[in-house]
Amino acid sequence: MTSWPYQESASANTQRTPVEFSLFVTVCFGTIFLACLGFLIFAHLSMPRLERIPSPERALEIITNQVMGLRDGLKQVSDLERQMMSVVDPTGEELQQCIEWYSELTEINTDPLSALYLAILEGEAGQIHAVQMKVHMWKDWALPFPFYSAVLQAAYLSEEVDPIQAHALQAQIAEHLPSGWFYRRIALQIAERSHDEGLQVSLAAASQRHAQRLVSNNRLLGGAQIMAVMGGLMAMVMLWRRWKWGGAVALRVGEVSFPPRWTGGNGVVVLIRGGGIASLLIISLSVTGLDPSVLQFLIPISIHIPILGLAYYYLWQPNGLSLRQAVGLKIVEGGWLRVTWFALTLFTLGVGGGWVIGFFAQNFETSLHWTDWFDPTMIQGTAWDLLPPLLSYTILAPLFEELVFRGVLYSTLRRYWNAPIAMVVSALIFSLAHGYGTFGLITIFWSGLLWAWAYEKTGSILPGMVAHALNNSLVCATVLLLVRPG
């Protein structure tokens, strides 16, 4: 007897209306799906990370401006606040991480400004030997490198700089470098060595304004996250008390039971055929020349709608199930309060797991690469450009991904395996589908595991859907408040 509740007997959940599928059609769609999947995997593995981002030198400049600005701002806050922020974001190695990212960029990118930015970061990190090497080499290179050599010499290698020379350099720096953290740092270094107090005050004030805005936004995000986590801890207590009082039945939100009524074979066929149709739709959209922000809105729909349509026609409807009944959107009496409790619990467990994963990632000297989460539209687009990705991340992704990966995939796997194994397999497929590196894959896997567990425990997809939306909303808010300029 399994310890997982609500598992009905096989006779109770057998399919009422048999469905016959054409093997030829299924094989054709499966071939299309595997070919498309193989191409995407090959393209993902063969294409360097930096080539996936348009204008990576500009993208990394934006990220570094914001990351280093926040780092400077956090130096001015109290020790207590800094310690609290280190709990929320345990990396604490922003400068070294930016150096590594720029080192990677300059290996494949010939942009002179990126090379200067790397030297500035090395100078700020006290890596004087690396700066000396660049100053020596760049003297004999083509323009603008001799100018960069003179700037670095004055900023990091000279104890005193002649005011006249400094004035000339400052004028050229202001003309050559875009306004931002890099400009302010190297201009401030030269101003300090030439004893230009007026410029020092002006640059320090500009840096402080930028840093204070980022610190304020960081406080807002940190406060919201802490409040949500505290709410999640309270929700855990309420769920535990309810479980002690009424057992597993008292945790129910919906009426879904496992294994489902449809057969595992029918579920697999729906996933294969839906994947094939989705592949054809994606190929069709990719050659339309639509704006990237529009594609960002349409592709999630195109990926998931075919599977959901086939699931309704072949799995749910023949067994007398509506969409609400099939995935537990029909809430039992008193279930809405438990939806809130479970959603906050899942969010808290997700955040806690992310902290643990981040801690181990730091010890193993790995992290989420910036290209894994950089969204050009969210960070560089206009205000109107933000609408499609925001709708996609906060509404469409939680809705469609939960319906497909938990409502169809996890339920189908429960026909073959018990709950723990089905949770692990569905979460692994869910994480692989996102195409991130190791750090991101583990984080997504943990989330998928939690949302499948909630589906099994509550009999409803809704708690995981709400937690998914909360998680994605926090990520979007972080990008908008801490990464997007201005």
pLDDT digits (tens, 9 = 90+) for 435-459: 777 778 889 999 999 999 999 999 9
Using a pLDDT cut of 90, give the percent of the chain over it: 64
Q: Which residues pair with 258 in a beta bridge?
A: 7
**CA distances (Å), origin 470, targets 254, 290, 326, 426:** 20, 29, 23, 21
Mean pLDDT of 397-415: 96
pLDDT digits (tens, 9 = 90+) for 236-263: 999 999 999 888 888 999 999 999 999 9
Interatomic CA distance for residues 148 and 135, integer angstroms: 8
pLDDT band, very low/low/confident/very high, at 302 (cuts 50, 70, 90): confident
Give Cβ neighbours of residue 351 (< 8 Å, ≥ 6 apart): 225, 228, 229, 232
292, 53 in Cβ contact below 8 A?
no
**CA distances (Å), origin 401, targets 38, 166, 410, 437, 465:** 21, 57, 11, 20, 9
Residue 347 scores a pLDDT above 50: yes
Check residue 439 and give its pLDDT.
78
Kind and range of the H or E element at 143?
none
Phi-psi region at 322: left, alpha or beta (left = phi > 0; alpha = psi -120 to 50): beta
Which of 13-27, 133-147, 318-332 is predicted with the least confidence, judged by mean pLDDT?
13-27
Check residue 331 and give its pLDDT.
92
Comparison of pLDDT for 21 and 358, the residue scoring more:
21
Tell me which residue has tokens 């406060």. 223
Interatomic CA distance for residues 315 and 270, integer angstroms: 8
**CA distances (Å), origin 359, targets 89, 99, 272, 374, 447:** 9, 20, 38, 22, 17
pLDDT digits (tens, 9 = 90+) for 103-140: 999 998 889 999 999 999 999 999 999 999 999 999 98
pTM: 0.88
Q: Residue 358 phi/psi, 5° resolution?
A: -65, -40
Structure tokens at 418: 């018990």
**3-state DSSP assignment of residue 258:** strand
pLDDT, the chain, mean: 88
pLDDT band, very low/low/confident/very high, at 9 (cuts 50, 70, 90): very low
Which of 9-13, 18-22, 76-80 is predicted with the least confidence, judged by mean pLDDT?
9-13
Interatomic CA distance for residues 325 and 331, integer angstroms: 9
pLDDT digits (tens, 9 = 90+) for 157-206: 998 999 999 999 999 999 999 999 999 999 999 999 999 999 999 999 99
Check residue 42 and give its pLDDT.
82
Check residue 12 and give its pLDDT.
43
pLDDT digits (tens, 9 = 90+) for 213-244: 999 999 899 889 889 999 999 999 999 999 99
pLDDT band, very low/low/confident/very high, at 145 (cuts 50, 70, 90): very high
Which of 10-14, 269-273, 396-400, 464-468 is predicted with the least confidence, judged by mean pLDDT?
10-14
- CA 13, distance to chain mean position in Å, is 38
Phi-psi region at 366: left, alpha or beta (left = phi > 0; alpha = psi -120 to 50): beta
26, 274 in Cβ contact below 8 A?
no
| 180 closest CA partner among 72, 66, 75, 101 | 66
Structure tokens at 76: 């001015």
Mean pLDDT of 73-94: 68
